Structure 1
């Protein structure tokens, strides 16, 4: 019995959280303090996309934990789990930056 690779769904879930984060980055124009887009597109949507990214990463983490074999050959699954945790952390950093930059006036 050889090692089993991750399923196609898990592979897709391991890449999916990156897309909403990139969209949030583009919509905020790199967290510009004076974005050229209307407030809905530069403040609200990036916040929602960051939350969606965190949710997708959470699903990817749980899927990797479920598919991980109980013994041996789990390195790929551990890498996907680590990647998912990194996406969750990055999504929370994006959410914090969006809230501080656009909603809290100092």
Structure 2
């Protein structure tokens, strides 16, 4: 008799919440995508948020893969599907923010 998980593991959930913190840090570092940010010097306004968003994408992809791997073949799959959907949304949002950062600060 085998036992399958009913809810995603702690690693999957923590990898899901790390990108949210990094996206929030991106908003803070860029002064909410201000054209002339004054809070931090230029490398912290343009380069560091790009690095944070790339790390957020990597973390969300790893979280998606682990949620897909932990998903039971039978039984309740809804919590795993919710985690996978949140990870996909984080990936799309991070890509959109990277494009926004490039258009505001580099072009």
- TM value normalised by structure 1: 0.93
Which residue of structure 2 aligns with residue 80 of structure 1? 83
The answer to whether 1:40 aligns with 2:43 is: yes
Q: 1:14-64 deviations in whole A, cap 9, x for unaligned?
A: 211101111111000110000112110000001111111111100110010
Ranges in structure 1 where 5+ consecutive residues have no aligned partner:
none
CA-atom RMSD in angstroms: 1.3
Which residue of structure 2 aligns with residue 8 of structure 1? 10
Distance 2:99 2:27 in 1: 13
Distance 2:16 2:49 in 1: 20
Distance 1:27 1:14 in 2: 21
Which residue of structure 1 aligns with residue 25 of structure 2? 23
Give the ranges of 4+ consecutive aligned residues of structure 1 lying more than 4 Å apart after TM superposition. Answer: none
- TM value normalised by structure 2: 0.92
Distance 2:53 2:26 in 1: 7
Ranges in structure 2 where 5+ consecutive residues have no aligned partner:
none
Distance 1:19 1:64 in 2: 19
Matched length? 104
